[in-house]
Structure 1
Amino acid sequence: MVVSLPPTIWGEHRLDWGQRTYVMGVVNVTPDSFSGDGLAPEDLAESAAAREMLVQRAVKQAEQFVAGGATLIDVGGASTRPHGAPASLEQELARVLPVIQALSATLSPEVLISVDTYRAEVARQALDAGACIINDIWGLRHDPGMATLASERGVPVILMANMRGTQRREIVSDVLRFLAGSIDLALAAGVPWEQMIIDPGIGFGTTPQENLTLLRRLGELRSLARPILLGTSRKSTIGLVLGGLPPSERIEGTAATVALGIAQGADIVRVHDVHEMARVVRMSDAVVRGTFLPA
């Protein structure tokens, strides 16, 4: 069921909810992304040539994403793969800042750049470099300064439920409780209600069966009355269900989750294979939202 929510408006930007599903393209400027698409070389810190190559690769990828149908570009410099070594603050800044600066200078102002980070200092510098959305995989729980930053800058913040290290009773209720707590943190810091987007956190401390349950019952997140971002792209649960497929071969499985997610109320889909998923989104929106827009 499609539920209309008030638009999210900040600065010269605007996201209208309920009329369409937005496509967010993932630009991973890491050397060790779980999805196999990390752009950063291992010798980034030591080599100016490597840093320049990273920027060129990221800009090219983002331009292809926009041409393929992405409205948002999500730039992340710290891998979220399970058991991966965390990037230092300096490493994360070195990866994301030059890329965001280049994207801001290159892409149309209509393309929205988000920074995927749980560190307030990275988010602060990324906003200065041209990002306009914060995507926090810890839902404001990791860095106390993140909520304050979002409030001070007046930018939207994506609040993701992260079940890593938590005790669970029933996954949908647990995710709803986590997200409600993140919303409370944002409100307490002065973040306007309309500036919050929620993400159920598929694959972040959840089992394959819990991921499938969250997808099946995604519509229950509508009780929080916030737009929903869904990030299932190339996730390990898809590979498991399809017999052990590697990330590069999970396009069809991703497409299924995108279509089903839209039917359950997803407003943004965060994907790696933008060209293919934008087509899935267009077809799904025509059926679910009744928005048939000839190409």
Structure 2
Amino acid sequence: MSTYFHAIPRSGPYDEPPKADREQARLGGSRHVWFDNVNIRSENGTWDYALASELNAETRARLSGARADLCGLSLDRPRIMGILNVTPDSFSDGGDHLSLETAVARARAMAADADILDIGGESTRPGAEEVGIEEEIRRTAPVIEAIRAAGITTPISIDTRKARVAEAALDAGADIVNDVSAFLFDPELANLVAERDVPVCLMHAQGSPETMQADPRYDNVLFDVYDHLEERISAACVSGIRRDRIIVDPGIGFGKTLEHNLSLLRGLSLLHDLGLPILLGASRKRFIGTIGGAEGAKDRMAGSVAVALFAAQQGAQILRVHDTFETRQALALHLAMIGDE
């Protein structure tokens, strides 16, 4: 893309009187984040500035328009996606939920606070090895079936790169596909998503889990991630996926250094220029421990909540977290203090 429109987020009551020469706009359809000015990066690399009221109708709609509901959930406020890994080796909760009983118990506990449950059967931590398709199905499909059999109706996302795993999960009761490779690992997954007409999250990653932290480099991480996501959105649409079914994720920690992660977080609101919901998954990741002084992944809850609230201030619509209760509590206080209804 030759021009980027980067809306600068502001939090607070949306109905407070604007300055006489400005017009407010909701950011990504948010009830609690809005903007009245935009930084514009032109094709020659220079920056310009515009008021929201000066944007053309198409650009303004892309930045401020309401995002499509997700499995019946409105996205005018941040939604919490609870992480449930049924793996022996995930970096934070590996081995915690290997039996059906413990997995269903955790799902039930998270459903009290989370809007979506994200089930994963393959670790994508740095250095992780690929899991075979049949093994990944064995880990995930029975858990999803058991969650549904237990009467838990919370929307379920299957975190996988593989079409056959996603198919088994959808058949078992999942509603959403979350692909960290954005269809680059298994192109057949795009065809499945199109055929089933289900929502899908496309994430940016540089390299595979085995190699992604081996000296990642970017010209400009924020714009490089934006361009990659824009290209993957186009590819998804060519495959027959409806644009309003797509969610984007900048892929914090997936082929990024600490500074790359911070740059993406600081500039997260640029991704609203794609006109789609933003998912942010930074929970318990290493950069939080490095900055916050927490070596163990499970000791990074406080830092993870801080990042989640910062993402909410940037207008992110979905917060993917391990600590659902703590994030829900913090988010409720945050929204109350900035005047959200």
- Name the TM-score, length of structure 1 as normaliser: 0.88
Aligned residue for 2:156, secondary structure, equals: strand
The Cα of 1:16 is off from its aligned counterpart by 1.5
AA aligned to 1:39 is: D
1:269 match: 319
- How far, CA to CA, are the matches of 1:191 and 1:119 in structure 2? 17
1:212–1:9 CA distance, 2 compared to 1 (3 A): closer
The Cα of 1:167 is off from its aligned counterpart by 5.0
Larger radius of gyration: 2
- How far, CA to CA, are the matches of 2:217 and 2:237 in structure 1? 25
Give CA deviations for 1:144-197 in whole Å, capped at 9, x if unaligned: 111111111010000101122575211001110111111011100111111000
Give the CA RMSD over aligned residues. Answer: 1.6
- The aligned length equals 274
1:171–1:287 CA distance, 2 compared to 1 (3 A): farther
- How far, CA to CA, are the matches of 1:283 and 1:37 in structure 2? 31
Give CA deviations for 1:249-291 in whole Å, capped at 9, x if unaligned: 1011111101110001110101111110111222233345x43
Q: Give 1:1-295 correspondences, 5 Å limit.
A: 1=9, 2-4=27-29, 5-9=65-69, 13-18=71-76, 20-39=77-96, 54-67=99-112, 69-109=113-153, 111-164=154-207, 168-287=218-337, 290-292=339-341
1:159–1:58 CA distance, 2 compared to 1 (3 A): same
Identity in percent: 39
Moved over 4 A (4+): none
- Name the TM-score, length of structure 2 as normaliser: 0.77
Aligned residue for 1:8, secondary structure, equals: coil
The Cα of 1:90 is off from its aligned counterpart by 1.5
Which is helix-richer, 1 or 2?
1
Whether the aligned pair in 1 keeps the contact of 2:92 and 2:298 (CA below 8 Å) is yes
The Cα of 1:36 is off from its aligned counterpart by 3.4
Aligned residue for 1:135, secondary structure, equals: strand
Give CA deviations for 1:220-273 in whole Å, capped at 9, x if unaligned: 111111100100100000001112431111011111101110001110101111
Unaligned runs of 5+ in 1: 42-53
